[in-house]
Chain A
Amino acid sequence: MGSMRLGLAALAVLFGSITSHAAPTAEVLHFWTAGGEARAAQSLKSAFEARGGVWDDAPVAGGGGDAMAAVLRARVLAGVPPSVAQLKGQNIREWAEVGALEDLNDIAEQQDWDALLPELLKRSAQFEGEYVAVPLNIHRVDWIWANPKVLDQVGVLPPQTWEEFNEVADKLLAAGIIPLAHGGQPWQDVTLFEVVLLGIGGPDFYRQVYVDLDPEALQSETMIKVFDQMRKLSTYVDPSSPGREWNLATAMVMRGDAAMQIMGDWAKAEFLTAGLKPGEDFICVPSPSRGGYIINSDSFAMFTVDDPEQQAGQQLMASMLLDEDVQKEFNLLKGSIPARLGVNLDGFDECALKSNEDLVHNEARGTVVGSIAHEFVQSGAIRGAFLDVVTEHFNTDMSSQEAVRRLAETVMLAD
């Protein structure tokens, strides 16, 4: 028994050393563990293996990535970082600042990422002019998902402006239908907030508030209007919403209990999984705004490691991720659209096509902006300040003036 175990162990060591000598290896730390996301990650794994790599899967479930962030931090501190980790927005910057990320400029130049990526993704993947991450996808946040049968019942069309939105919602309310399906969790409250911020303030104002944290913009009259509209929205939500998960809110729209939901395009996966057809059983319309496109995007970043096989794995991974076929398959499964421009979108549904069309349009006008609710812009502390004030305002009878005052104060405190 003992000798057999020893033999097995020796065999395992031998086998392990053979395979690791033979192939570039990547240990991939990610939190895509459920449903379509898991299948999307699987497609990357298959593509990596088809190119001769060994994918060492390290999924960490739970908490929308919080658990993964804790594991990542612990491993970097212990000096054994994973070779590849799922990161986004500000976290890329923070890890790059402490010098933990591998520079990917050679591959970026070879493949001309500058020409392939939308401006905002380019900026988020770079630190001091060097590429340190590879964007994988583009999710659009500013969508309204509506049940057309319910809208027909009261004879209204999807709203084009926020005034129209309020009229439509009032009619629905009068007919005994919940106008807005919503889950009262802070990140969902801020999702509404940024959609309204873009709609009422426009892309430039959005950037002044969200990116520059400009005190004048934060305390402006427009901000008060934004909070006024948030107050309106809080009256269009059913009383049981606090604590509800976003996908349960999506289910309310499917069942016809509620008419609309404002959520990013991962909500589409819920409709499609339930066997519903876009355009018939549910419709997607951009939320009211005079132009603009709110982005949420995931990336892979390569952490500095010593092992030559792992380094080879990082090179292989970085050179593969923006491949046209890899992008297409990954994003079809993930429900997003490709991070690189100019991919043939055969097989994507009409919501994805609309998303892509608007992206190209807004990219040309420079009106693509990043989401705070989804941690794409700003640090955790600033995001937290927005979460705290917006959710507090949404759930109390706080006046818009008070909310604006508190927001400016809390943001300054967190900065």
Chain B
Amino acid sequence: MSNPRQRKQQMSVLDRLQRYLPQLVVAPPFLLLVFFVYGFIAWTGIISLTDSRMLPSFDIQGFQQYARLFAMDRWDVAFHNLLIFGSLYVLFALMIGCLLAVLLDQHIRAEGALRTIYLYPMAISFIVTGTAWKWILNPSLGIESYMQKLGWESFQFDWIVNRDMAIYVVVIAAVWQASGFVMALFLSALRTVDEDIIRAAHLDGASTTRIYIGIILPSLRPVFLSAFVILAHLSIKSFDLVVALTNGGPGYSSTLPANFMYEMAFRRNQIGLGAASAMMMLATVAAIIVPYLYSELRAKHHG
């Protein structure tokens, strides 16, 4: 027989266990996250301030690596390309994805099959996409030579070997890959729009176009936002598509910052410079994600 006091103590142990159990369960993944994500971000940050070359060193030199980074034409090109690629990729993937979703939403036949066809590119690895498009767009193997053989002698489509246009080829392949995914996001959101509102609008005599523009699309705002954030960060970390499609060429005219980072850190034994460029990429991601998080959190507070 235990006295009440002992029982109370036992209870409190159980109580405490119950209270801390969730924390205990969450703690290991949390620690792993802190270590492997934020720990390594901090480590990269430190390395970017050192004179590390082939092996990491911890000899802090200040912002020298950043100064070198900004003096390099190659970094300029890579960063400009990111602006071009990022904005066009996000814009076109959103537009095409949204349009496809609206068209598929018209209760057409074989919708399931079509949806799968459009979504399928997302399941393909970037390396495959890149290699296939590289062949399709090569002037002496692909579309250009095919059209010329058909008899359209003056046909020209040589963007992939044209240094001013090569980055747009990367945009084409990336948009092809992502549009289906964006479509799926929008389609599932379209299906959640309240049918009654649409019917009411129909009764009031609004045309389908007006209903879409005035009622349905505005109600998709959260999906727009999440699609935007997903696409934006995908564009900043793009790497393999460029490797497979143009390998950064002609010259280095189609490199992106991720390619720059890889080239410096792993091919040129310039770990410090590579780390500095990685930090600049992080800053770019933060510039997009932080306002988004801020607006989300604020919305919750007010809501």
Within the assembled complex, what's the spacing in Å between the Cα atoms of A73 and B68? 24
* A98-B55, A392-B73 as given contacts; A242 in contact with B269, CB under 8 Å: no
- The answer to whether A94 and B251 touch across the interface, beta carbons within 8 angstroms, is no
Contact residue among B161, B266, B268, B270 (Cβ-Cβ distance under 8 Å from A243)? B161
Contact residue among A77, A185, A243, A384 (Cβ-Cβ distance under 8 Å from B160)? A243
Indicate if A238 sits at the interface (CB-CB under 8 A): yes
> Which residues of chain A are near B71, meaning CB under 8 Å?
413
> A45-53, A105-113, A131-139, A375-383: which one contacts chain B?
A375-383
Interface size on A, residues (CB 8 A): 32
Considering the complex, give the chain A residue whose CB is closest to the CB of B71: A413
* A239-B158, A380-B267, A381-B268 as given contacts; A395 in contact with B249, CB under 8 Å: yes
> B82-90, B134-142, B178-186, B191-199: which one contacts chain A?
B134-142
What per-residue 1/0 map shows which CB atoms of A364-383 lie under 8 Å from chain B? 00000000000000011101
- The answer to whether B268 and A384 touch across the interface, beta carbons within 8 angstroms, is yes
Interface size on B, residues (CB 8 A): 33
Nearest-neighbour CB distance to chain A for B284, whole angstroms, equals 22
Indicate if B252 sits at the interface (CB-CB under 8 A): yes
> Which residues of chain B are near A98, meaning CB under 8 Å?
54-55
- The answer to whether B267 and A242 touch across the interface, beta carbons within 8 angstroms, is no
> Which residues of chain B are near A384, meaning CB under 8 Å?
263-264, 267-268, 270
Task: State the majority secondary structure of interface residues on A.
Answer: helix
- The answer to whether A395 and B250 touch across the interface, beta carbons within 8 angstroms, is yes
- The answer to whether B74 and A388 touch across the interface, beta carbons within 8 angstroms, is yes
Contact residue among A94, A240, A395 (Cβ-Cβ distance under 8 Å from B253)? A395
> Which residues of chain A are near B270, meaning CB under 8 Å?
380-381, 384
- The answer to whether A185 and B247 touch across the interface, beta carbons within 8 angstroms, is yes
Within the assembled complex, what's the spacing in Å between the Cα atoms of A184 and B60? 39
> Which residues of chain B are near A400, meaning CB under 8 Å?
none
Task: State the majority secondary structure of interface residues on B.
Answer: loop
Nearest-neighbour CB distance to chain A for B164, whole angstroms, equals 9
Indicate if A18 sits at the interface (CB-CB under 8 A): no
Of A76, A238, A380, A391, which is in contact with the most chain B CB atoms at under 10 Å from its CB?
A: A380
Within the assembled complex, what's the spacing in Å between the Cα atoms of A398 and B159? 20
Nearest-neighbour CB distance to chain A for B79, whole angstroms, equals 15
Indicate if A313 sits at the interface (CB-CB under 8 A): no
Contact residue among A95, A186, A240 (Cβ-Cβ distance under 8 Å from B252)? A186
Indicate if B72 sits at the interface (CB-CB under 8 A): yes
What per-residue 1/0 map shows which CB atoms of A317-349 lie under 8 Å from chain B? 000000000000000000000000000000000
> Which residues of chain B are near A240, meaning CB under 8 Å?
138-141, 158, 161
What per-residue 1/0 map shows which CB atoms of A157-189 lie under 8 Å from chain B? 000000000000000000000000000111000
Considering the complex, give the chain A residue whose CB is closest to the CB of B262: A66
Indicate if B259 sits at the interface (CB-CB under 8 A): no
Within the assembled complex, what's the spacing in Å between the Cα atoms of A141 and B68? 32
> Which residues of chain B are near A73, meaning CB under 8 Å?
54-55
Within the assembled complex, what's the spacing in Å between the Cα atoms of A51 and B55? 36
Indicate if B163 sits at the interface (CB-CB under 8 A): yes
Residues 138 to 170 of chain B near chain A (Cβ within 8 Å): 138-141, 158, 160-161, 163, 166
- The answer to whether A184 and B249 touch across the interface, beta carbons within 8 angstroms, is yes
- The answer to whether A94 and B250 touch across the interface, beta carbons within 8 angstroms, is no
Nearest-neighbour CB distance to chain A for B70, whole angstroms, equals 11
Nearest-neighbour CB distance to chain A for B151, whole angstroms, equals 20
**With contacts A69-B266, A70-B266, A381-B269 known, what are 14 further pairs, Cβ within 8 A?**
A69-B267, A184-B161, A186-B251, A239-B158, A240-B141, A240-B161, A242-B160, A379-B268, A384-B267, A384-B268, A388-B73, A388-B252, A394-B251, A410-B72
Q: Which A residues contact B (CB, under 8 angstroms)?
A: 66, 69-70, 73, 76-77, 94-95, 98, 184-186, 238-243, 379-381, 383-384, 388, 391-392, 394-396, 406, 410, 413
Q: Which B residues contact A (CB, under 8 angstroms)?
A: 53-56, 68, 71-74, 134, 138-141, 158, 160-161, 163, 166, 246-247, 249-253, 263-264, 266-270
Please provide the 7 A-B residue pairs with the shortest distance between their CB atoms, ordered closest to farther. Answer: A380-B268, A242-B250, A395-B251, A380-B269, A240-B140, A395-B250, A384-B268
User: What are 24 inter-chain pairs, A to B, with CB distance below 8 A?
Assistant: A73-B54, A73-B55, A94-B54, A98-B54, A185-B247, A239-B161, A240-B138, A241-B161, A242-B250, A243-B161, A380-B268, A384-B263, A384-B267, A384-B270, A388-B73, A388-B252, A391-B249, A391-B252, A392-B73, A392-B251, A392-B252, A395-B249, A395-B253, A413-B71
